[in-house]
Amino acid sequence: MGTLLFFAALIIEIALAAWCIITKQNHKRFKSWLRVSEFLIFGLLILSTIIVWSFSWVLPAILLLILAISAAVSLLRKSALERRYQASRTVVKTVLMTLVLTLAFAPVLIFPQYKSPRVTGPYEVATASYTYTDKKRVDPFTHAGNRFVNVEFWYPKNAKNANGTYPLLVFSHGAFGIKSSNSSTYTELASHGYVVVSIDHPSHSFYTVSDDGKVTLADKGFLQEFQNANTDGVYTNKEVYGLFQKWMKLRADDMNFVIDTILEKTSSDTDSLYKLINTSKIGVFGHSMGGTASMWLGRERSDISAVVNIDAPMFSELVYNKAADDFAASGRRYTTPLLNIYSDDVWKQLGRNTIYAANQAADQNTAEMYTVHFQGAKHLSLTDLPLFSPFLANQLQRGSAEIDKYFCIETENELILKFFDYKLKGIGSFNPPKAY
């Protein structure tokens, strides 16, 4: 809808300019009525919900309002004389209006209106956000004050099952991601009777906002480390392995802290949300670096019953081989049930890049593992970003994915739901196709 309205506005401006140039008149009165009409039509589209109001429509609304007010004032001043027609003035005004329209509609074009992926569960879903402060850790980025994490819950609203509680699922976003990166997945899971908590890892996330309104952006040092680690020749393999360990320690410490805090609150906090949680049924999942951290926790904690790794290397199962100066699979047995979901971006590297050596050897080293490859998908296809902002997704992953974005995310959500149902609720069986 945003793209349609943007190009319609551009066509109107160009057509008006051409009309004025051909007739050698300003047509000021007609333009004024048109400006007022455009604003009224925009308002009707919002009221009829053809346009779903969001932050991206603020600038177009302001622009159309200003133009409508200016036009209304011009119409009321009936005695005002029109300026003598000048073609150059018409061209300049049209160019300026085109630039203004482009700037005003930029948020709409970057964050277009989109249809939410389907939600199939019987429960209405509610959300709640909190900031947890870890009094046992100093923030490693600021070196001042305690480490904090911002979390958001998705959970069944006003619903009770036979046991009165639901399994807990903990999600970790990728590098420079945000906790809402897979909101459609959380909503689908919560609608089927899960309490899902997604974590913002401050300084690892693109941005995060605390309960008190404090905004924390991605740390520049972490950004530089991440870029250098993915650039040949900047670090040695040994240095890269050290970075893996540092990043995963932060992630794992954050996730352990969140889980422990929730477990404590289920027995001591009066908030009804925590009373919904079945503390004996816990699963973890994440995308990219968050998937790596989830696997790390699946090895560390005995109370985690299932792990979903979305498009990530298995750093917890990787070692640095000093003699070969390269990475290798540790060979240790991984006993927590594991579902791997891969895009083409990672799938094509499994046999080429030794960072994925543990993924390649996982068939021999895991007690129970399922692997699914989404053919034609790119790394961010396994998040909601291609829906929320196709432009940003294509820029970040250097091209558009071949797979249909709704098919990809909805099928992924279905797979994750069936896996957790099987491992945490004992529902049905799980034998997914190896490729889609």
* pLDDT category of residue 25 using cuts at 50, 70 and 90: confident
Reply yes or no on whether the pLDDT at 161 is more than 60: no
The region of weakest confidence among 112-116, 184-188, 297-301, 429-433 is: 112-116
pLDDT at 113: 85
With cut-offs at 50, 70 and 90, classify the pLDDT of residue 114.
Answer: confident
End-to-end, the C-alpha distance of the chain in Å comes to: 30
Comparing 352 with 311, the larger pLDDT belongs to 311
- Tell me, what's the pLDDT at 82? 59
Helix (H/G/I), strand (E/B), else coil: 288: coil
pTM (2 d.p.): 0.88
pLDDT value for 147: 95
pLDDT score, position 80: 52
Nearest to 256 by CA among 245, 267, 248: 248
Q: pLDDT class for 322, splitting at 50, 70, 90?
A: very high
Among 80-89, 102-111, 233-242, 294-303, the range scoring the smallest mean pLDDT is 80-89
Confidence of residue 158 (pLDDT cuts 50, 70, 90): confident
CA distance 34 to 79: 19
Map tokens 């005002």 to a residue.
Answer: 80
CA distance 293 to 200: 13
Judged against a pLDDT cut of 60, whether residue 81 lies above it is answered with no
Does the pLDDT of residue 394 top 90, yes or no?
yes
**Mutual orientation of helices 237-268 and 220-229 as an angle, nearest 10°?**
130
Give the residue with greater pLDDT, 294 vs 77: 294
21 burial class (0-12, 13-18, 19+ CB within 10 angstroms)? Answer: middle
Confidence of residue 359 (pLDDT cuts 50, 70, 90): very high
Name the average pLDDT for the chain. Answer: 92
Helix locations, 24-163, DSSP H: 28-47, 58-76, 87-110
Segment 3-7 mean pLDDT: 89
- Segment holding 152, helix H or strand E: strand 146-156
pLDDT tier at 83, thresholds 50, 70, 90: low
Q: What is the mean pLDDT of residues 269-282?
A: 90
Euclidean distance between CA atoms 87 and 357, whole angstroms:
67
